[in-house]
A and B are shown apart, each in its own frame.
Chain A
Amino acid sequence: MTVAVSRRAFLQTGVAAASVLTIGFRPDHTLAAGAGTQGLTPFVKVTGDGTVTAIIKHFECGQGVTTGLATLIAEELNIPLDQVNVEFAPADVEKYRNLLFGIQGTGGSTAMANSYMQYRTAGAAARTMLIAAAAAAWDVPESRVKLINGHLVSDNKTAPMGVFAAAAAAREVPAAPVLKDPAEFSVIGNPETRRRDSGPKIDGTAQFAMDVHLDGQIVAVMKRSPRFGGTLVSFDDSAARAVPGFIRAAALPTQTAVVVYAHDTWAAFQARDALATEWDFSDADNRSSDEMRSDLLAMVKTEAQFDAKGVVRDASAALDGATQVIEQEFFLPYLAHAPMEPLNCTIAPSPTGVTLYDGTQMPTGAQQALSAVLGIPTDKIAVQSLYAGGTFGRRASPDADYHVEAALAFALNGGAQPVKLVWSREDDITGGYYRPSVAHRVRVGLGADGHIVGWDHRVAGQSIFKGSGFESFVVQNGVDSTSVEGVRDTLYDIPGQYVGLTDESTPITVNWWRSVGHSHTAYVMETMMDMAAHVAQRDPVEFRLAHLTSGSADQNRLAGVLRLAAEKAGWDQQPLPGRRRGVAAHKSFGTYVAEVVEISGDVESGLVIEKVICAVDCGTPVNPDVIAAQMESAIGYGLGHVMRSQISFSNGEVDQSNFPDYETLRISDIKAIETHIVPSTAPPSGVGEPGTPPAGPALANAIAVDGPRITELPMTSQDVNFA
C-alpha cells in the first residue's frame, strides 16, 4: 500500500479519531508507546485526525508551564505551538512524579528543569514512529521521510501525520529516539511564541477552583483562633442563626477553629461574623512585633544553635586579621503570599471515594491529607486540577493545611454532600503560613587590598521544613537548608566563612514563599556586598566581579548576568541627573539573575522606580516571552513586598487584614522593566522564582547611593516614601 490518503478522505471514513498513537513512559522510566494507555503513562497523543495533545503533569498558576511543556512537544514534532492541545494530568504520583521531588508537585521552579528531557523524548519518539510507519507504507527508507508542519513528506508523497497514527502505534518504540539538534529549534527559544492560556483568561471562561459549583454544594468557612496557638473554649451561634442561608456551625475536633456552613459564600461570611467565640490563649504566641524583633535579634548575637556551613575554614581568624570589618544587623518581617485567588477547594463524594477540585501545587500531599482525615485510600481520591489564581507557594504547605481543613469540613458534614472550603482575603492575610520573619547579623572583613577575607553570618528564624513530611530531604545535622540557602552556598570567593543558624520556635505557621530562603538571604548578602564595595571604595559591579574569578561555570554564569545587566543599564556612564542606580545578583533554583534598579526622587517626598534592568541565565530559554513575563512578575513581587508589605503583631494578633493594609504593588510603582536573556544551550532551569531575590537589594542599594542604608523592612516602616 503506497497510496497517500487525503485527510478529508480519511475523515470521511469516520474511524480517524479512533486511531491514536500514545507515547509515554513505563513505571521504570523507559519509553513506551501504543494505541492505548495500558502499561504506560501518556505524555503525548497523536490521533487519526492529526490532533496532538500534550499531557501536562504540572499545575498552571500563571508561570506558563502549559505553554512550556507544549512547546517541547511542538518542537520535536515540527509543528507550530498552536497545534498542540493540552490536558492536565490526573493526580497520580507513580506516573507523574516530579523527578526532582519524588512526589507529584510543582514548586522550587522545577517544572521545566525536570520535564525538559521527558517531554522532548516523548515528542521525538512520536516523530520517529510516525516517520517509520510512513516509510514502511511507502516503501522508502526512513531517511527519505520528513515530518513537516503536520505532514509526512517523501519525494512525491505526502500525507497528514494522523493518517499514520494507528500504524505507528503498532510499531516498536525506539529505545532512544534522536532529539532535534538545538541549532534547528524553531519553537523552543522563539521570541514570537505567545502563551497558550490567554483565551479563557481574557473572556472569563477559565475555571479556577473558586469557580466550582457542584449540585448540592454548600460552602464552609472557618473561624480560626485570632492568635496562633489558641484553642477553642466555646462558641455561640445564636446570632448566626438569623443570617439567611446559614446552615450550622461546628467545632473542629482539633479545637483550632469553628466551621460555619451556609448555602452560599456571602451567607457563610455573614454568619461567621455573627459567631461569638471564646479562646484559650495560654499556649498561644501572645507577643507583639517589637518583642518578636528583639527576640530574633538577640538570637543572632549569641552562640548559634547550628554550624550551618560545616566547612572548617576559620572565619574568626580571618576577621581578626582583616584591615576593616563591616558589621550589620538585619530584621525582615513575616510576609503573606496573598495570591489573588483566596485559598479554597471543594471535596465531593464520588462513586468510589471522593473527588478534590483544586488548583493545587501538590496533588500528592493533598491526597495524603484527605486520606488521613477521611480514612480513604489515596487511590480512591481523585483530583480535578483547575487553574490556580496565583500561589507563590501558598497553594501547598508542609502540612497541607487547607486540604486538612476541607477534609474535616467535609467529614463533619457527613460526607454525602460536596463542601467548598473558602478563605476570605482576611483569612488569607491573618491565617499564617507566612514567609518567616528573620534576623541576620553579618561581619565582613576586608583585607588591605580591598578584598573580602572573612565573613561571619548568623541567621535566626523559624524552620519551614522541620516537623513536616519533607524534613528528611531538606534538614541535615539540624540545619534546614532553606534557612541558609543563598548564604552558605554563596558563589563569591570568601576565604573564611562561618554560617550560624538558630531556629526560633513559635506556633505562628510558616511556609515557602516565592524563592523561599533566598527571599531574605539575597537581601542581606547583596546589601553587605554593596556596603563592602563602598567601604573598599570600589565600584559595586567591579567589586562583585572581582569575587567571581575562579573560572568555575557557576561563577562565570553569575558574572555573565552581572556584566550583561551592567552593560544594558549603561553602568559605565553617569545616570541621568537626579537618577541613582543599585545592582544585585543572585543564583537560585539553578538560574542566575542580575538586576539594576534605577530610581529618582527622594525618601522624604517619594521615590520613583524608573527602570529595572534584568539579565537572566536560565539555560536554554524555552519560551523567551514567558521568561520575560516571569522576570517582570518576580521583580514586581520582590519589590512590592520590600517597599511596603509586612505582617506585624499586637498581643499575638495580626495587625493587617486585607489589601488596604497589607499593601500590594500597584501599576504606577515600577515605570519599566527590561529583561535580557543570556543565550544558552545548557539544560533549562526555573524562572518562576529567581527574579525575586535580587530585586529588593538592588532597590536598597540604589537608595543607599545618597540615602539611608535600609536594613529593616519594609522600607516604608523606615521612613522611606514612594511616590
Chain B
Amino acid sequence: MSNQLTVNGQVHDIHMHGDTPLLWVLRDGLKLTGTKYGCGVAACGACTVHVDGEPMRSCQVRVADVEGAEVTTIEGVESEVATAVRQAWDEISVVQCGFCQSGQIMSAIGLLTENRQPTIDEIESYMWGNACRCATYQRVRAAVRRASDILEA
C-alpha cells in the first residue's frame, strides 16, 4: 500500500494505510512533528494544516484523500501573511506551553489570507475551533490584529 503525498513542496511515498489520518502520517510517518495531536475528533484545532492553501484539521483527513493535493505544515508555511503572523506572535508573546500554537498560527494565516482586516467578531468566530488550554486567547486575538496591521502597513 502506498500513497504519494506532497508536503511543503516535497513528494513523499507513504507506506501507511490509506485510511490513516493525515495527522499521523505527518507525525509518525514523515516525522513532521510541528503538527500536533490534541483530540483526534476535530474539537481542538491543534492539528491544523493547509491543504491547497485552506486550513484543515489533519486528524479528519484520510491520507488517501489528499493524494495530489499540496499539504503545507507549520514547518513549511511561507508567505507574507505567515511572516506577519509570526512577527506578531513573537512581539505579543502569545505562546505559553506552545502545544496548540502551530494550529493557532495555521488558522490565523488562513484567516488573514482570506480577510486581511478581520473584526474582533470575525477573529473569534474563525479561531473558535482552536482550543488553548493555557488560555492564551486574549493574546491570540491581539496578535491577529497586530498581524493585520503589519500587513496593512
Which residues of A pack against B, CB within 8 Å? 61-64, 194-195, 197-208, 210-211, 213, 219, 244-245, 264-266, 269, 338-342, 387-392, 424-425, 625-626, 629, 632-633, 635-637, 640, 658-660, 664-670, 672-673
Tell me whether A659 and B43 are in contact (CB under 8 A): yes
Cα-based distance from A300 to B39 in the complex (angstroms): 38
Which parts of B1-57 form the interface with A (CB within 8 Å)? 1, 16-17, 20-21, 24, 27-29, 31, 33-41, 43-44, 46
Cα-based distance from A198 to B91 in the complex (angstroms): 9
The answer to whether the Cβ of B148 comes within 8 Å of any Cβ in the partner chain is: no
29 A–B pairs (Cβ distance < 8 Å), ordered by A:
A62-B98, A64-B96, A198-B94, A199-B90, A201-B101, A202-B89, A203-B34, A203-B75, A204-B73, A205-B75, A208-B33, A210-B33, A219-B28, A244-B1, A264-B16, A264-B29, A266-B16, A339-B99, A340-B99, A340-B132, A387-B98, A632-B136, A633-B135, A635-B135, A659-B131, A660-B41, A666-B137, A667-B130, A672-B138
Closest to B133 in A: A340
Cα-based distance from A392 to B99 in the complex (angstroms): 14
Q: Contacts of A668 on B, CB cut-off 8 Å? A: 124-125, 128
The answer to whether the Cβ of B116 comes within 8 Å of any Cβ in the partner chain is: no
Report the minimum CB–CB distance from A65 to chain B (whole Å).
11
The answer to whether the Cβ of B97 comes within 8 Å of any Cβ in the partner chain is: yes
Which residues of B pack against A, CB within 8 Å? 1, 16-17, 20-21, 24, 27-29, 31, 33-41, 43-44, 46, 73-75, 86, 89-91, 93-102, 105, 123-125, 127-128, 130-141
Cα-based distance from A386 to B42 in the complex (angstroms): 26
Q: Contacts of A210 on B, CB cut-off 8 Å? A: 33, 36-37
Q: Contacts of B29 on A, CB cut-off 8 Å? A: 264
Closest to A426 in B: B40
Report the minimum CB–CB distance from B78 to chain A (whole Å).
11
Tell me whether B131 and A388 are in contact (CB under 8 A): no
Q: Contacts of B35 on A, CB cut-off 8 Å? A: 204
Cα-based distance from A307 to B27 in the complex (angstroms): 53
Tell me whether A658 and B131 are in contact (CB under 8 A): no
Tell me whether B134 and A340 are in contact (CB under 8 A): yes
Q: Contacts of A211 on B, CB cut-off 8 Å? A: 27, 33
Tell me whether B102 and A340 are in contact (CB under 8 A): no
Cα-based distance from A184 to B137 in the complex (angstroms): 35
Q: Contacts of A199 on B, CB cut-off 8 Å? A: 90
Q: Contacts of B86 on A, CB cut-off 8 Å? A: 202-203
Tell me whether A425 and B40 are in contact (CB under 8 A): yes
Q: Contacts of B31 on A, CB cut-off 8 Å? A: 213
Q: Contacts of B132 on A, CB cut-off 8 Å? A: 340, 667
Closest to B102 in A: A204
Cα-based distance from A79 to B47 in the complex (angstroms): 39
Contact of B24 among A206, A266, A659 (CB under 8 A): A266
Tell me whether A201 and B98 are in contact (CB under 8 A): yes
Tell me whether B75 and A625 are in contact (CB under 8 A): no
Q: Contacts of A392 on B, CB cut-off 8 Å? A: 133
Q: Contacts of B1 on A, CB cut-off 8 Å? A: 244
Q: Contacts of A266 on B, CB cut-off 8 Å? A: 16, 20-21, 24, 28
Report the minimum CB–CB distance from B110 to chain A (whole Å).
15
Tell me whether B135 and A632 are in contact (CB under 8 A): yes
Contact of B99 among A202, A219, A244, A341 (CB under 8 A): A341
Report the minimum CB–CB distance from B143 to chain A (whole Å).
10
Closest to B132 in A: A340
- In the complex, the 10 A-B pairs of residues with the closest C-beta atoms, listed nearest first: A204-B34, A636-B135, A389-B99, A62-B97, A201-B98, A62-B96, A204-B74, A211-B33, A659-B43, A266-B24
Cα-based distance from A688 to B86 in the complex (angstroms): 25
Report the minimum CB–CB distance from A445 to chain B (whole Å).
38
Closest to A664 in B: B131
Cα-based distance from A61 to B28 in the complex (angstroms): 23
Tell me whether B96 and A341 are in contact (CB under 8 A): no
Tell me whether A658 and B39 are in contact (CB under 8 A): yes
Q: Contacts of A387 on B, CB cut-off 8 Å? A: 97-98
Report the minimum CB–CB distance from A344 to chain B (whole Å).
10
Report the minimum CB–CB distance from B117 to chain A (whole Å).
18
Tell me whether B138 and A670 are in contact (CB under 8 A): yes
Report the minimum CB–CB distance from A412 to chain B (whole Å).
22
Closest to A632 in B: B138
Report the minimum CB–CB distance from B28 to chain A (whole Å).
4
Q: Contacts of A63 on B, CB cut-off 8 Å? A: 96
Tell me whether A388 and B93 are in contact (CB under 8 A): no
Cα-based distance from A640 to B94 in the complex (angstroms): 19
Cα-based distance from A211 to B98 in the complex (angstroms): 13
Q: A266-B20, A660-B41 are contacts. A389–B90 as well, Cβ < 8 Å?
A: no
Tell me whether B39 and A341 are in contact (CB under 8 A): no
Q: Contacts of A338 on B, CB cut-off 8 Å? A: 133
Q: Contacts of A203 on B, CB cut-off 8 Å? A: 34, 74-75, 86
